[in-house]
A and B are shown apart, each in its own frame.
Chain A
Amino acid sequence: MAEAHGHDHAHPHQPDIEDAAPSHYQLMTEAVAGLLVEKGVFTADALRAMLEAIDAKSPADGARVVARAWADDAFRTRVLEDVNAAASELGIDAGSIPIRAVANAPGLHNLVVCTLCSCYPRLLIGLPPDWYKSRAYRSRAVREPRAVLREFGLELPTETVVRVHDSTADLRYLVLPERPAGSDSLDEDALAALVTRDCMIGTARPRAPA
Chain B
Amino acid sequence: MTDRFRTGDRVRVRTAFPPGHVRTPFYVRGKTGDVVSVAGHYHDPEELAYGRRGAPALALYRVRFTQDELWGSGEAPGDDLVVDLYENWLEAGHG
Contact = CB atoms under 8 A, between A and B. Distances in A.
Chains A and B share a contact (CB less than 8 Å): yes
Interface of A: 98, 100, 115-116, 142-147, 158-159, 161-171
Contact of A147 (B75, B77, B85): B75
Main secondary structure of the interface of B (DSSP, over half): mixed
B79 A163 contact: yes
A111 to B, nearest CB: 9
Contacts of B83: 165-166, 168
Main secondary structure of the interface of A (DSSP, over half): loop
A141 B59 CA distance: 26
A170 B25 contact: no
Size category of the B interface is 20 to 34
Interface string B55-95: 00000100000010011000111111111111000000000
Contacts of B67: 143
A161 B75 contact: no
Interface of B: 23-25, 27, 39-40, 42, 45, 60, 67, 70-71, 75-86
Contact of B45 (A144, A145, A165, A169): A169
Contacts of B40: 98, 170-171
A170 B79 contact: no
B80 A168 contact: no
Contacts of B82: 163-166
A168 B27 CA distance: 12
A169 B25 contact: no
B71 A166 contact: no
A115 to B, nearest CB: 5
A145 B75 contact: yes
B75 A146 contact: yes
Contacts of B77: 158
Nearest to A166: B83
Given A146-B76, A169-B60, A164 B39 contact: no
Contacts of B80: 161, 163-164
A24 to B, nearest CB: 25
Contact of A168 (B71, B75, B79, B85): B85
Nearest to B78: A161
Nearest to B60: A169
A170 B24 CA distance: 12
Nearest to B37: A100
Which of A147, A164, A167, A168 gathers the greatest number of chain B CB atoms within 10 Å? A168
Please list the 6 inter-chain residue pairs (A to B) with the smallest Cβ-Cβ separation, ordered nearest first.
A169-B84, A158-B76, A161-B78, A164-B81, A170-B42, A146-B75
